[in-house]
Amino acid sequence: MAAQTSSHCPDWEQLEAVFSADEPNPALSKHLDACLSCRERFAELRANNQLLQDVRAASRTWAGSPVESDVDVCRTSVPIGGYELVGEIHRGGQGVVYKAVHLATRRTVAVKVLAEGRLALPARHQRFQREIEVVAALRHPSIVTVYDSGLTADGRLFFAMELVDGLPLHEYVGKTAPRPSVPLPIDDALPLLCAICDGVNHAHQRGVIHRDLKPSNILVDVDQCPHIVDFGLAKAVGDESVIRQQSLVTAAGQFMGTLAYAAPEQFRGDPNAVDVRTDVYALGVILYELLTGRLPYPPSTTLSDTIRAITDVDPPPPSLSPSASSTGSAHRPPSGLNDDVVTIVLKALAKDPQRRYQTAGALAEDIRRYLRGDPIDARRDNAWYVFRKTIRRHRLPAAILSVFVVLLLAFGVGMSLMYRRTKLEAEKARQIKVFLEDTLGSVEPTAHGAEVTVPQILDEAVHWVEIALRGQPEIEASLRTTIGNSYRTLGLYDAAESQLTLAFEIHRRLFGQEHPLVAQSLNALGALARDRGDYDRAVDLIQRGLAMRRLLLGDQHFEVSVSLQNLASVFVRKADFASAEGLLRESLAVRLRLLTERHADIAMSQFQLAEVLRNGDHLIEAEELHRSAYQTRRTLLHDKHPDVERSLLALARTLMARGLWDEAEAMLRECVDRQRRTPRGDRSRLAEARGELGFCLASLGCLEEAEPLLLESYDHWRTTVGGENATTVEARRRLVSLYEQWGRSDLADRYGG
């Protein structure tokens, strides 16, 4: 053989030419096959050229310009029988992937070669061999097809696979997203993940678990089709010998998977705990990341902390980051993720595999249900949810829908509590369901059309309660409480008083003087008295409810924290901030002991405490608490939830107090816009937002624009709560001040007198 090859050893220039040549040099290749010394020189040259890239990168400074490369070190001529290697695609932990041409078929393929040749450990070889066997058995558009496998000339394992012209998922997202770190639009992310799930499901059905799913193992081609690669950790389900060897954290502490995508069970050291649902978890992490641009558990300072987070801490519900919300999908509200999507993601990320989707196919199917507008499976156990979803699917008029949603919200809390209680409670829940259906059915869309209002629906509800619930006083009281609270939040105080009083009387009749439900009624009546501005009565009622709850439930009970908060809110209205602050701190402390940190009720406590601090001129702390509460609410609640707007309004007030008028003005305009967009919404809240915007504009000197806002606000308070109410007085003071500023003494006198 040697006689047929070049008899002289090539010099360095000639060896370099092998790297840079477009065409392989058959004579040199043959010489290399025959000459050990040249093979060693060639190996050295290859290692040197690899280092050269690093040296060039290191020699660039931050301000400096890159040095142009005149040698393509990716070129290689590692001999592999039947293939011509034309470039290096990727260098990873397991091996190097080359672009190559299969000489017999001229097909361009990707060839993966074990990186460290003879130095590789036997375990690594076994893993590689298994990878080849496993992937070759799979045929699916979302899985990279394997064509061939074998040994290179120097005894290294390789396999040839479909060459995907695409980018790893993380790079694809980086290029597709409007800016780096901004996630994919939801309308792109969900179908993409479905296609990935389909591929994984195909593998699962053939007994193959990937075990190392992550964005860098998923290539996305120009048609946005994903292709899963690197089944390096895959194993056949039930293959005991493999299972024993493949515990994620091996005895040597070598971490084979990638931490962020590893499921909790992968840390338990029980190889049998790893099954198809481990991949479902990784898909959940990928989905979370696609939607939010963040990982559910960002790597912490230490490995053990990160593992602890994955195994013990609930992930924060996915939400769009502020940067994403401004560039989100054109088809959906950009500021928050739909509840269904959040539910799907959290179900895929459940710590207990039993609570996860049981297959990747089930995850894909639920996403498709969501995309079709059908009820998702993850919430099948919630009848109310399914009912609402069905109605939406049938496209009822928007007015009816909004009414329905309001009612659902009003009942939501009570319902969830009831489900946990006894059979009687279940019956109660069923009654309420019938009540909702009947009430909705009784509102004829054609008869009322767009004029259907929430008060009308509530009036229908009262009528229904009176007719249908005779002889079922407990359910009647429960519904009257809900309806009364709804009237109260709508500013319809007389109607609210009548419903809440009836509920209180029923509770007293049924349960006597001291009972949690009696306390609940006292609290509700107290809140109503507070909203009417009758603070003494409010304090009396709520304190009685609080004392009853402390006695019956103990100090460390959530209901106690509710009473504390309500009581504090009265003191706030009375401007007794010192009393309020003490109560709120106790309430917040109780909640922090009972709830997780990111919880709507914690946000409520922070909100109220911030309000008190704002009034006490502790503006920096107030602003911090408000921003925190606002963020939590934006994350946890849907975009139109009134608490989101309350937070926005309060934050704007804090900013005004700090003299940051411009930012406050923008927020207040958003508040007013939100209220205007809510048909027949809470008029008191609209009046409040308008009053604040008017005040802000007046302070900025925009008197003409401020006047109608302050006037409308004052009129609202005067007619709803009366001229002597503190809110009305304040609204009038602001109006008078505006006129004085304007030089309109006639008008100032008229309202001032």
Partner 1 sequence: MLTRTTTSFLLSAMADHRNQDGWLEFDSRYRPILVAFARRLGLGEADAADAAQEALTRFLTALREGKFNRDRGSVRSWITGIARNCIRETHDRRARRREERGLSALNELPADENLIQIWDEECHRSLVQHALLELKEETHTDPKTIRAFELLALQGRTPAEVSQLMGMTRNDVYLAKHRCLTRLRYILDSLQEAYEMS
Stretch that binds partner 1, among 64-72, 527-535, 542-550, 721-729 (CB under 8 A): 64-72
Q: How far is the CB of 332 from partner 1 (least distance, A)?
A: 21
Ramachandran region, residue 191 (left: φ > 0; alpha: ψ -120 to 50; beta: rest): alpha
- Cα 506 to Cα 501: distance, rounded to the nearest angstrom: 9
Dihedral sign of CA atoms 171, 176, 180, 183 in order: negative
- Cα–Cα distance between 132 and 145 in angstroms, integer? 10
User: Which of the stretches 352-360, 410-418, 658-666, 715-723 binds partner 1 when contact is defined by CB under 8 A?
Assistant: 658-666
Min. distance of Cβ 260 from partner 1 in angstroms?
5
> Is the Cβ–Cβ distance between 338 and 392 less than 8 Å?
no
> How many residues bind partner 1, per CB under 8 A?
42
- The Cα–Cα gap between 573 and 569 comes to 6
CB-nearer residue toward partner 1: 59 or 250: 59
455 token code pair: 């008060």
Secondary structure (3-state) at 464: helix
The span of 292-300, 484-492, 599-607, 672-680 binding partner 1 (CB under 8 A) equals: 292-300
Write the DSSP symbol of residue 490.
Answer: T
Residue 666: how many CB atoms within 10 A of its CB? 12
Which one of 2, 9, 27, 303 is in contact with partner 1 (CB under 8 A)?
303
Q: What six digits make up the tokens of 82?
A: 């039947």
* Torsion angles phi and psi, residue 671, rounded to 5: -60, -50
For residue 580, give both structure tokens. 């309020």
- Cβ proximity to partner 1, 448 vs 598, nearer residue: 598
* Beta-bridge partner residues of 214: none
Report if residue 16 touches partner 1, rule: CB under 8 A.
yes
Distance of closest approach, residue 456 Cβ to partner 1, in angstroms? 43
Question: What string of H, E and C letters represents the secondary structure of 29-44?
Answer: HHHHHHCHHHHHHHHH
Q: Work out which of 1, 3, 8, 12 binds partner 1, going by CB under 8 A.
A: 12
- Compare residues 96 and 469 and give the one whose CB is closer to partner 1: 96
Give me the least distance between CB of 59 and partner 1, in Å please: 5
Question: Got the DSSP string for 346-404?
Answer: HHHT-SSGGGS-SSHHHHHHHHHHHHHTPPPGGGTT-HHHHHHHHHHHTT--HHHHHHH
According to DSSP, the residues that pair with 140 across neighbouring strands are 143
Question: Is residue 446 a contact point for partner 1 (CB under 8 A)?
Answer: no
Q: Which is nearer to partner 1, 306 or 563 (CB)?
A: 306
Which of 137/660 has CB closer to partner 1?
660
Among positions 241, 254, 302, 446, the unique one binding partner 1 when judged by CB under 8 A: 302
Cβ nearer to partner 1, comparing 183 with 199 = 183
CB-wise, 27 or 55, nearer to partner 1?
55
Tell me, residue by residue from 320 to 359, as one string, x for binding to partner 1 by CB under 8 A and - for no binding: --xx------------------------------------
Helix axes 600-615, 558-573, angle to 10 degrees: 30
Q: Which stretch binds partner 1 (CB under 8 A): 9-17, 363-371, 425-433, 501-509?
A: 9-17
Least Cα distance to 646 among 657, 659, 632 occurs for 632
Is residue 116 close enough to count as binding partner 1 by CB under 8 A?
Answer: no
Shorter beta-carbon distance to partner 1: residue 408 or 700 = 700
What six digits make up the tokens of 328?
Answer: 């989100």
Site string for partner 1, 662-701 (x = CB under 8 A): xx--------------------------------------
Which of 294, 351, 392, 733 lies at the binding interface for partner 1 (CB under 8 A)? 294
Q: Rounded to an integer, what distance in angstroms lies between the CA atom of residue 445 and that of residue 540?
A: 44
In the bound state with partner 1, the residue whose beta carbon lies nearer, of 36 and 63, is 63
Binding residues for partner 1 restricted to 222-261, rule: CB under 8 A: 259-260
Among 242-250, 369-377, 525-533, 659-667, the segment contacting partner 1 (CB under 8 A): 659-667
Q: Which residue from 81, 299, 708, 722 is in contact with partner 1, where contact means CB under 8 A?
A: 299
Site for partner 1, residues 124 to 183, rule: CB under 8 A: 180-181
**Burial (0-12, 13-18, 19+ Cβ within 10 Å), 557:** middle
- We find the least distance from the C-beta atom of residue 632 to partner 1, in angstroms, to be 17
Tokens describing residue 685: 């809240």
CA proximity to 726, closest of 526, 575, 536: 575
Pick the closer one to partner 1 by CB: 660 or 702.
660
What is the rounded CA–CA span in Å between residue 100 and residue 87?
7
Nearest distance in Å: CB 223, partner 1 = 26
Beta carbon of residue 345, minimum distance to partner 1 (angstroms, whole number):
17
Query: Cα(658)–Cα(614) distance, rounded to whole angstroms?
Result: 10
Binding mask 24-63 for partner 1 (x = CB under 8 A): --------------------xx-xxx-xx-xxxxxx--x-
- Within 10 angstroms of residue 378's Cβ, the number of other Cβ atoms is 24
Non-local CB neighbours of 393 within 8 Å, separated by 6+ positions: 373, 374
Interface positions with partner 1 (CB under 8 A):
11-13, 16, 44-45, 47-49, 51-52, 54-59, 62, 67-70, 180-181, 259-260, 289, 293-295, 298-304, 322-323, 660, 662-663
